[in-house]
Structure 1
Amino acid sequence: MTPQHPTTTALPRHRRVDTPIGPYLIAAEGEALTGVWRQDQAHFPRPERLGEEAPAQDPLLAAAERQLLAYLAGEREAFDLPLSPRGTPFQQQVWKMLREIPRGGTTTYGGLARGLDRPRAAQAVGAAVGANPLSIVVPCHRVLAADGSMTGYAGGIETKQALLRLEGVLLA
């Protein structure tokens, strides 16, 4: 059995990160990241889900902060972090599919529904995408409406547009 790092805890903990696209909160429990939320976004978690503010030397949250900032600076293509988002089995399926959308790519809610072999479930897919607790890391910003328009992003449409510009999907 590998000993735990002294600052690692199974209790929820969080850290605030100031990024070029606004303030974010990143949260973890045990050895896995459980949330990345834009401050005051829709579906922002209650304080008990965030737990206590983590010490600066928390290894997982420090790594998550470094990777998030490097990604937003265009210095990193993907994330390499242990993830443990809370959700229903259906939400977990949708979030798994989101992780398969490559940087610079997009899909639609209907496309995800068809990929789940549930072609009439686009609205349910939309709800699952909207409930994604790991924004940016699980790239829900890469999902567009059937007509290619920007719809529903918990962190705001401007944030979604900024992320898609960063990834080369939209022109600057």
Structure 2
Amino acid sequence: MKYVETPARPGQAASGIPDVDVTLHVNGDVYRLRIDARVTLLDALRDHLGLTGAKKGCDQGACGACTVLSEGRRIVACLALAAQYDGREITTVEGLSDGDAPHPMQTAFARHDAFQCGYCTPGQIMSAVALIAEGRAGDEADVREFMSGNICRCGAYPGIRAAIREVASEGPDASL
């Protein structure tokens, strides 16, 4: 575990909204931030911590490109304020691999060509990992339903579902 403190900012942003101190536990590392109270979790991850795996797609919570896990549960980071996740565990796509070994879902996505442009892939993978951990990969209809919050504009859905079914067949321990 490493501990990273970002540079301090003055106590109040130019907007008059106070800054807040937030401690985020991301991918096993602890980050202390002083940020504007309105900063989303997505912006904190991308702009303050340099973790760019979660993508800014619609910025309205509709596309799922920014999906991350908080204590194992899926969240769309563009709609969550970073301050809401003070002290909570966050996992991004960067935190799934085990050292140099990719997560089984990442491997399955590659094997099944479950991406084309790749923009939605991190959010799809995070949702897929959570879907299996939640026990919601029972059949094709379940996978479709519980992945419906993640949009792929390239239409790689057959490969995405095949990757999820592959990892789900390996058992729940393969997901997290």
Provide TM-score, normalisation by structure 1: 0.30
Larger Rg: 2
Provide TM-score, normalisation by structure 2: 0.30
